[in-house]
Chain A
């Protein structure tokens, strides 16, 4: 029974554990919790065992399969893999088997990792609870009547309830960080351009990033190291050196300056969340970090700007789902125009339709300047705010979400209520900054609270370092949720 990904890795290296056994264990864990959590959309038993067998064979003949040899991993279902379906939890590409794999996935596989499952999400990444999945609603392992967050809810829930494997999610407005916070795990949204987007089904091109959800910042660092780097298939991926993130994240943080912006502790933040985060900041102070106040005067405009920018880009990115070259085609279509309209109406869920409509409107003739262009100008102001603040400090800390996990169904009657939980995460996507969420406490109800760390562009290691320092002093990240596969296996 492994305790961490490093454990899995080291034991495989030492010959104490075969890749096949690690894969079997991972599959066992996923299968144990999935009936209750419904986090995995595809469990890839055959593929995983075949890949693991190949790793074992190579290890057996003294070959070097890579730094992640034999480590099992899961992939969010909006990221292309060769095995399993890449449906983005949408009916419009329900059974879609991608003929090619995402660069990030390929790099993990080439490092020797073994893909065991695809995970559930809000359709096309649009949502903050995984309730917008067309497949099923994933449950929070801490309280199965509550949401795991979204859109990477499947990955977060699965990560929380299992051990010893890697999990890939994606983040456009908080979709890694917020579910990480609700499920008590550590999630990193890398700097925009740090990880290739090739093979990630685009939601908002200027905001999307692939990132890890793990039990610790060091595990996140390990994944980032394997995936990061410029990609010849994605010209927005930046040609910046990939550091030894694990090493850099292991350094101490004394003298690091941490900023607190009152604008990121707005009124909507629940008292328990605020208190947990403040206690967390004290821990960092104790570790030698300097804490000072900074100002982000335009932070409150981030979410409205995000709503407009992300919807606009999404409306265009989702135009390719038209029933012509792939995906669902309506049987009811007479002519071509009807074909488009019916296929898309039948294939897309309500939230996706809402965002496409808003996005189309925002870009349409007569409204472009007042909405889209305006949002881009506000985006620039927010970028400038952070540039200034991060000139005075090395990182900015705030809660990940104003609240903890909410009951399933509670916010489904009004989409605006769901948008509201993103207010503290979207600035990172708008400003292309690395940002991480880590657990810093539990609410009275026993639900995890997440603390968020923002860093400078391409300083993902600093963000990871602060989190790792925190995790060396605390044990929030080691706590097990009610439903888990290692502590008694599949408990309530």
Chain B
């Protein structure tokens, strides 16, 4: 929301951009896709391997049921068509991080075809169509050390279950790509199927981009950009590439079909090499695995158990609950906060104040403890007691913050804590009047200022009352009483 506004290369341009994305999402199953090695990040190199994912002679794959179930949830959440029959295929090519010399993937009968992901961008709802979603295994990792003519291969990642999500070239700007990706990521987080952590590689994205004259229908030569490690880089790379292609065209040159890498230090894309002759992957059905079939009953059951999607939640918050877009958006983006918020609504349906309290104080507490809101162990019922106390004027907004921490550390009720800490707000009119009159008597100057129309002096006087009462006075009421007295 607060990303710096970059110069948009398409502004006032004769061209439009045509962008398609290929997103890889690592599923967070316990074990790998086709073997029983742990599916985890960060193990010492080549210690999370077995004969199967090492591709040793005689080893065989065995598909992970949980990976397929998680994939189905993602596929249905994205609105794809799921056929009753799906199978795995071998994609044959040679690379050191691919120990079998083929990747088990899906070719012509993937888990999902079509689909669409909607999102909000600058207040407007739009959607990007998907081409397909399929399930495959990840490859290992190659790294090199500068100066030596060797590469190191680590196969820990080989065999990790990967969802590949391909979009139609419906995206027309870097900002749109970013919005789409952020929302796709949210969907995966909502479903609980992936950590979607770009730094750890559980969410990766390659982009295909071409430009064409505005309003044209055809597609021109595109380039592919890889090695994009953050949403920020994706947007920057796209903007750079759009500008680069426009410049080429304006000079009368052609865009070369190639793979480019993004260099974040220089904020530019560089050609990796000319795109080689198309690989001939020689796809054929994987004979070592059985196909997977689903009944419409099973699919219906999964569909009915899907959580509310981010975009639908956003519409509910801003519509039904009348929250402002900004807090609504913040809640939606933090799944745990949103779930907590919804539970609070069942007990105390004051959306604005509850949202406010969650997004400011509760999140702060969670962040300082480095956990998500659900890990705080706070029951929504107790939390809304606090919000209610503020709304009812029992405790001031400022003092209420001091109640939160003891709430998290003890079982005490809100009322108990307020009382123990002596934080009750004074809201009693006659008591307040007494204090106000005292202060007014002590500060004739500011009183004159107020009578003369200087509003700021009201604040000063309110402040003095707060000081006298050691912060316990209900500032709103104090202001009201002052106003009443001085306008009489």
Contacts and interface: CB of A to CB of B under 8 A. Distances in A.
Instruction: Judge A-B direct contact (beta carbons within 8 Å).
Output: yes
A439 B63 CA distance: 42
B282 interface: yes
A205 B94 contact: no
A320 B282 contact: no
Given A316-B90, A319-B92, A372-B284, A86 B57 contact: yes
B460 interface: no
B152 to A, nearest CB: 12
B376 interface: no
Interface stretch (B10-18, B214-222, B285-293, B442-450): B285-293
Contacts of A318: 101
B58 A232 contact: no
Interface string B32-75: 00000000000000000001001111111111000000000000
Nearest to B95: A336
B249 interface: no
A201 B282 contact: no
Contact of B55 (A86, A320, A363): A320
Contacts of A320: 55, 57, 99-101
A363 B287 contact: no
B199 interface: no
A450 B282 CA distance: 39
A313 interface: yes
Interface in A276-314: 312-313
Interface residues of A, number: 44
B58 A200 contact: yes
A316 B284 contact: yes
B68 to A, nearest CB: 13
A343 to B, nearest CB: 11
Contacts of B56: 98-100, 325-326
B282 A360 contact: yes
Given A234-B62, A236-B288, A365 B57 contact: no
A322 B94 contact: yes
B102 interface: yes
Contacts of A360: 282
B330 interface: no
B93 to A, nearest CB: 9
Contacts of A232: 62
Interface in B101-153: 101-102, 151, 153
Contacts of B57: 80, 86, 88, 93, 96, 98, 201-202, 320-321, 326
A454 interface: no
Given A86-B57, A368-B282, A236 B290 contact: yes
A376 to B, nearest CB: 9
Interface in B354-387: none
A327 to B, nearest CB: 8
In the complex, which range does the number of interface residues on chain B fall in?
20 to 34
B201 interface: no
Nearest to B282: A363
Contact of A319 (B59, B62, B63, B101): B101
Nearest to B151: A336
B103 to A, nearest CB: 11
B96 interface: yes
Interface string A193-223: 0000111111011100000000000000000
B412 to A, nearest CB: 53
Interface string A225-237: 0000000111110
Nearest to B142: A336
A102 B290 contact: no
Contact of A102 (B58, B63, B90): B58
A72 to B, nearest CB: 23
A340 interface: yes
A100 B51 contact: yes
A99 B284 CA distance: 30
A474 interface: no
Nearest to B92: A316
Nearest to A335: B149
Contacts of B63: 235
Contacts of A200: 58
A456 B92 CA distance: 34
B101 A233 contact: no
B60 A198 contact: yes
A233 B92 contact: no
B407 to A, nearest CB: 50
B287 A201 contact: no
A234 B290 CA distance: 11
A204 B284 CA distance: 13
Interface in B68-98: 90, 92, 94, 96
B265 interface: no
B301 interface: no
Nearest to B286: A205
A336 B102 contact: no
A368 B92 CA distance: 14
Interface string A28-60: 000000000000000000000000000000000
B62 A325 contact: no
A336 B153 CA distance: 13
A165 B480 CA distance: 104
Given A232-B62, A233-B62, A365 B280 contact: yes
A357 interface: no
Given A316-B92, A320-B99, A233 B60 contact: yes
Most A-side CB within 10 Å, residue of B59, B61, B96? B59
A159 to B, nearest CB: 23
Nearest to B285: A376
A119 to B, nearest CB: 16
A313 B287 contact: yes
A319 B94 contact: yes
Nearest to A232: B62
Contacts of B55: 320, 325
A492 interface: no
B432 to A, nearest CB: 76
Nearest to A324: B96
Contact of B102 (A201, A316, A325): A316
B58 A201 contact: yes
Nearest to B59: A198
A313 B288 CA distance: 10
A316 B100 CA distance: 9
A206 B287 contact: yes
A320 B60 CA distance: 13
Interface string A68-102: 00000000000110000010100001001011101
A364 interface: yes
Contacts of B61: 235
Interface in B376-403: none
Contacts of A324: 96, 99, 153
A202 B56 CA distance: 11
Contacts of A321: 57
A202 B155 CA distance: 22
Contacts of B102: 316, 319
B173 to A, nearest CB: 35
Interface string B252-289: 00000000000000000000000000001011100111
Given A316-B282, A368-B282, A235 B290 contact: yes
Interface in A226-274: 232-236
B100 to A, nearest CB: 5
B101 A198 contact: no
A364 B283 CA distance: 8
Interface of B: 51, 54-63, 90, 92, 94, 96, 99-102, 151, 153, 155, 280, 282-284, 287-290
16 contacts: A86-B58, A99-B51, A100-B51, A201-B57, A235-B60, A235-B61, A235-B289, A315-B282, A316-B102, A319-B101, A324-B96, A325-B54, A325-B55, A360-B282, A364-B280, A364-B282
Given A234-B60, A340-B94, 8 more contacts: A80-B57, A98-B57, A199-B58, A235-B61, A235-B63, A320-B100, A321-B57, A325-B153
Would you list the 7 A-B pairs with minimal beta carbon distance, nearest first? A319-B101, A363-B282, A205-B287, A206-B287, A199-B58, A201-B57, A320-B55
